Amino acid sequence: MSQTPLVEGRHDGGFLVSEARGHRSRDRATLSGAAKIQAGQVLGKKTGGTAVAVAKAGNTGNGTFTLDATTPVVGGAQPGVYVVRCTTAAANGGTFRVFDPTGDVIGDVAVAATFNDQIKFVIADGADDFAVGDEFDVTVSALSQIFVPLSLTASDGSQVAAALSFANVDVTDADQPGTVVTRDCEVNGFELFWPTGASAAQISTGTAQLAAQGVIVR
């Protein structure tokens, strides 16, 4: 007598090896992407948010600071105030250093060049040259909490591995709320879902991106 095989589906959090106490490893977010997302699916986070720039009172230079009109907030952005401070003065130019909200340096940018790391902007020269210490403050808020299946060819932030879906969630017809695993955990690499066709090198890169957030693939 033949028997029908029993196929067991994916379990919520079945890919987890260990996680922090309480709910510190998990966040609530919006899942999107017009797909059936599996528990353990590698997700990217769409960039987005609001940013407002203000020149520091007393600046010597009167050049303009312009946030990108389309994507002023890009991948890896943090909520809070970014400081953009002139470190090298020059006639009709200069160099500014960018500090994230925690005070860490994330890069330097010359006047008239585009800066594109967490925030995107350009500083234009004015009639009065900038002096060392001139500053702009950029306040970032309302960051995107939309996660989609990792897309290696995207340019909207979802090309960077940022989280894992805790459960099976069907977002084929509409976005749905869901739980994502984002930090302080170990996961079973054999239980993860990577994009179809992802190469070993791409998976290695994604694994490193997860590790940078404290999601360790075993």
Q: pTM for the full model?
A: 0.70
What would the pLDDT profile of 131-150 be if each residue is shown by its tens digit?
A: 999 999 999 998 888 999 99
Structure confidence by residue, pLDDT tens digits, 40-65: 999 999 888 899 999 999 999 999 99
Task: Give the mean model confidence (pLDDT) for residues 148-176.
Answer: 95
DSSP state of 69: S
Domain with CATH 2.40.300.10 in the chain: 16-46+145-217
Q: Give me the DSSP letters along 35-59.
A: SEEPTTBEEEE----EEEEEEPTT-
Q: Which of 17, 6, 2, 1 minimizes the C-alpha distance to 181?
A: 17
CATH class assigned to 16-46+145-217: mainly beta
Distance of CA 50 to the CA centre of its chain: 14
pLDDT at residue number 1: 64
Average pLDDT score over residue span 154-166: 92
**Residue of 3 and 193 predicted with greater confidence:** 193
**Can you tell me the distance from the alpha carbon of 15 to that of 41, in angstroms, rounded to the nearest whole number?**
10
Q: Which two tokens stand for residue 94?
A: 């200069």
Res 3: pLDDT: 75
> Which tokens is 216 given?
């360790």
**How many helices (DSSP H) and strands (DSSP E) are in the chain?**
1, 18
Strands 146-149 and 42-45: antiparallel
Quick one: which of 134, 153, 192 has its CA closest to 16?
192
Name the one residue in this structure whose structure tokens are 């210490």: 133
